[in-house]
């Protein structure tokens, strides 16, 4: 190897190691509590803004093109009115988002969560239910449905049963119960190994009218 090639190789190695080290430190800096505070502050900006704030997307795209270190995992509903990046006023590379109707988790979702915790260093998981959720509404109306929609109404039935008889609006109660049960499922079924003790799973419920996320006590 020619001397200048050797030096180039060393510089490249040091730079790569430095980048990895910085990335690991960067991810470790965002604790679950700090991540939740960032989401709460972002949601406050969203709920009080009349227009979406301009964001430096090109710079963030460049920063995150080679690696990602999202500070929160959002398990949200596929509902078009609940986009986590907007609801929490975040940018490219900030959130690792898994969305299904009814914010349910099956094998693919759990695998995605495990990947983000283990490989991307994310330490906060938010299960985000929302007001007037169509999937929950359907599950309240029927325990079976055609096609694969059946899997949605079927998997929300435990929440329907748990909410039954409680004081309050049946749909609102079932939405919160469903999000709580999904959070419990993530805690018990996601294989996070030694990292589990560093990960926090919380429930949020998004209000379609006000734009605010409420954080009910589980």
> Which C-beta is closer to Zn ion: that of 124 or that of 175?
175
Chain residues 101-140 in contact with Zn ion, contact rule CB under 5 A? 133
Instruction: Look up tokens 């509590």; give the residue.
Output: 33
The number of beta carbons lying within 10 Å of the beta carbon of residue 97 is 19
Whichever of 43 and 82 has its CB closer to Zn ion, that residue is 82
The least CB distance from residue 186 to Zn ion, in Å, is 17
| Long-range contacts (CB closer than 8 Å, 24 or more residues apart) made by 48-53 | 49/89, 52/86, 53/89
Q: In this complex, which beta carbon is closest to Zn ion, that of residue 121 or of residue 129?
A: 129
Q: Is 203 a binder of Zn ion (CB under 5 A)?
A: no
Give whichever of 35 and 136 is closer to Zn ion, judged by the CB atom. Answer: 136
Residue 79 engages Zn ion in binding (rule: CB under 5 A): yes
Sole window of 20-28, 47-55, 73-81, 90-98 interacting with Zn ion (rule: CB under 5 A): 73-81
Task: Note whether 77 binds Zn ion by CB under 5 A.
Answer: yes
- The Cα 139–Cα 155 span in angstroms is 9
| CB of residue 62 to Zn ion, shortest distance in Å | 34
Residues 114 and 192 sit within 8 Å (Cβ to Cβ): yes
Cα–Cα distances in Å, from 8 out to 16, 28, 129, 196?
12, 30, 51, 40
Which of residues 30 and 139 has its CB atom nearest to Zn ion in the complex? 139
Burial of 118 (0-12, 13-18, 19+ CB in 10 A): middle
CB atoms under 10 Å from CB of 2, counted, come to: 7
Least gap, CB of 88 to Zn ion (angstroms): 17
Number of residues in contact with Zn ion, rule: CB under 5 A?
3
CA 110, 63, 37, 54 dihedral sign is negative
Shortest Cβ distance from residue 81 to Zn ion (Å)? 9
Query: What is the C-alpha radius of gyration for the chain, rounded to an integer number of angstroms?
Result: 20
Part in contact with Zn ion (CB under 5 A); list of ranges 11-19, 65-73, 75-83, 172-180: 75-83
Query: CB-wise, 111 or 134, nearer to Zn ion?
Result: 134
Q: How far is the CB of 130 from Zn ion (least distance, A)?
A: 5
> Binding residues for Zn ion, per CB under 5 A?
77, 79, 133
């Amino acid at each position: 190897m020619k001397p200048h090639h050797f030096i180039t190789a060393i510089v490249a190695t040091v730079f790569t190691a430095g980048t990895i080290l910085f990335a690991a430190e960067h991810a470790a800096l965002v604790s679950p509590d700090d991540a939740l505070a960032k989401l709460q502050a972002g949601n406050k900006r969203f709920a009080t803004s009349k227009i979406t704030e301009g964001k430096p997307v090109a710079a963030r795209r460049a920063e995150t093109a080679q690696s990602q270190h999202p500070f929160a995992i959002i398990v949200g509903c596929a509902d078009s009115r609940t986009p986590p990046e907007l609801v929490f006023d975040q940018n490219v590379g900030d959130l690792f988002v898994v969305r299904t109707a009814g914010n349910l988790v099956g094998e693919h979702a759990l695998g995605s969560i495990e990947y983000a915790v283990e490989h991307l260093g994310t330490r906060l998981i938010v299960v985000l239910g929302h007001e007037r959720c169509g999937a929950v509404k359907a599950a309240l109306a029927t325990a079976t449905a055609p096609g694969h929609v059946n899997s949605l109404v079927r998997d929300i039935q435990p929440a329907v049963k748990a909410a039954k008889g409680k004081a309050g609006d049946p749909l609102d109660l079932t939405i919160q119960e469903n999000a709580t049960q999904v959070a419990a499922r993530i805690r018990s079924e996601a294989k996070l190994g030694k990292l589990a003790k560093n990960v926090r799973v919380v429930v949020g419920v998004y209000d379609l009218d006000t734009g605010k996320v409420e954080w009910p006590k589980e």
